[in-house]
Structure 1
């Protein structure tokens, strides 16, 4: 028999409504579960008596379990393998950051080290991006809102999470309703994450981008662009055929007009594919009407699953310089975290047979710092 996660807001709200129980009791149940991780939700005190049979028969505090925890050699990245009640597994990654490496008004930022959680929204992914290990799995299933939130609950036992990025397994906007509900839960008591500290990444599901701001105001949007022209994008991202660049850029302009927020552009650097000077100029012109932060991502090896190689450091620096100096586009280079545990960008895949060790990582600025960093 399967149970609902106590963090499946729609399910518990529906059950309570049918029983005439006010939804105002739900946050207190979540708070009890967080404060008492070994206790079930029916241990929550001071609930209406009719709530307890519902909680016992239909809900569990956690429907997922931690199958394994792997930490990078430098201790900065922790990868969680989370087993769902249906037997499938997803991965989430905790990344620690040093805020002193960021700047505000040109001055070093202050504060203690913080953590960002990279979270999964699906088992596998049907986008089929050629540079991403998750794409090799194909699509298996969507996660419920509760299963998404449970990744945060698991992570909180290891670190205080300040930022959440939907950049793990799956295409978040292909599981739109569950992702929206999960984020709404994360921003409520007892989690109380700021929407401005949550980022949703997408390859460009246009019809859902069109409604994202209305459903999740102040949440950051990141676009996995990875190419400046449609033909290259389709070669490395087959799903891009359904989302032509011209239509995508139009949708982003509408989104930005409504949200008044910068958009993050993710661009993986593939040697000889999308990293030449002409590509930098094409990208600069493509993004000219938008307020964006471009994040250049050195390709992470995924063994025999891909034949791509990482752009040279010289190529990446040249690409960055063109975007900054000629097009005045704020451009960063993502320093790699968790490669030695296959926890870096594009490396998340369950049951990958090959073991890879490509070195550790260093403390770096994260997505929340990008809005403060001046062009260099």
Structure 2
């Protein structure tokens, strides 16, 4: 185990309390490190003398490094490959949007340029979704809250991040305590993100969904549903066996009742598997008691890792029309970004030599979404 990240908030608070140092210095240290990423601890002004010795002994400014940055030809997508202290790699993706494009209620949209960051919460994933390359890795390890926050800090040097989506590698709710701690850091000084601008995506880890609103009120919840019935869901998402659809929907009903917020439903379109008209009608029936936005995701082929095919545009639009027209459910179709750098949904596959075992490390970000 290496020296800890200064962004591992709980560890830093614990060490400061043991040393009798006020925790109000912690965001001051974070702010300085963000502005001066190559700084030495002694360069941070106005800390108690005991803090400098503690920082030298226990913490690093960063435990991860940016291995590479790849810009898409679309001009709006950037992929960061980040090397962790243990030698593993994760990816983070910056997606830039201009909110002034298009119309809203017949009028020009307010706002301007903004960036959404998609970050990882684990190395690998236990969920094993068959349309996602991360499932082929198996699970390696959880990220610490500091490693999660460092992705935001690295990305913030390239773009001003307004939204964060936990849709990178891993199942965020399987790394629950680190997720909660990282989000709380993002909400406080110096990051000051709004909970409305943070989205957590899950395949439906029921026991964690039951705690989420109490621990992180105001957050956006996205659910990777991907099928309207349990048997299809189990075929493409083996982990769904542990989360029966009926129980998952009950948990989401309670979550929505408590939070009074829309839930984002992610639905990947797989030709001949879950994209027929009957599936649209089943999905509409399943969601009729909810306030949701359904996001239809055109499947991106990922080399020889998948047996699936992309749904035709006609099928996607027909599916959308049924949900909108028959069920009055707001339904969007995912805009693909960064396909040329394997930055689109389900495409983020990286193959790197692992010096420890000479095998390839595959990392994949299953899902990208822009909130609001």
TM-score range normalised by the length of the shorter chain: over 0.9
CA contact (8 A) 1:91 1:349 kept: no
Counterparts in 2 of 1:140 and 1:366: CA distance versus 1, 3 Å? closer
- Checking the alignment, whether the CA contact within 8 Å between 2:34 and 2:153 is kept in structure 1 is yes
**Residues 256 and 42 of structure 1, relative CA distance in 2, 3 Å threshold:** farther
**2:254 counterpart residue number:** 254
Alignment of 1:69-218 (within 5 A): 69-101=69-101, 103-218=103-218
Separation (CA, whole Å) in 2 of partners of 1:187 and 1:103 = 30
Q: CA deviation at 1:352?
A: 6.8
Single out whichever of 332-341 and 262-271 deviates more from structure 2.
Answer: 332-341
The separation in 2 between residues aligned to 1:350 and 1:10, in whole angstroms, is: 31
Which one of 346, 367, 370 corresponds to residue 370 of structure 2?
367
The 1:26–1:174 alpha-carbon spacing in structure 2 relative to 1, beyond 3 Å, is same
Is the 8 Å Cα contact of residues 32 and 41 (structure 1) preserved in structure 2?
Answer: no
1:366 offset after TM fit, Å? 6.1
Quote the residue 2:356 is aligned against.
Answer: none
Secondary structure of the 1:101 match is coil
Q: Which moved more, 1:227-236 or 1:44-53?
A: 44-53
* Inter-partner Cα distance in structure 2 for 1:102 and 1:228: 31
Taking the aligned partners of 1:142 and 1:42, their CA distance within structure 2 comes to 31
Q: 1:296-342: CA deviations, max 9, x gaps?
A: 00001110000101100000000000000000000000010111111
Aligned residues of 1:90 and 1:350 also touching (Cα < 8 A): no
What's the TM-score once normalised by structure 2's chain length?
0.94
Aligned residues: 359
Preserved CA contact (<8 Å) 2:165 2:369: no
* Structure 2 unmatched ranges of 5 or more: 354-359, 361-367
**C-alpha deviation, 1:46, in angstroms:** 1.1
* Correspondence 1:302 to 2:302: yes
* Partner Cα distance (2:342, 2:127) in 1: 20
Question: Separation in 2 of the partners of 1:79 and 1:150?
Answer: 15
Structure 2 CA distance for aligned equivalents of residues 52 and 66 of structure 1: 26
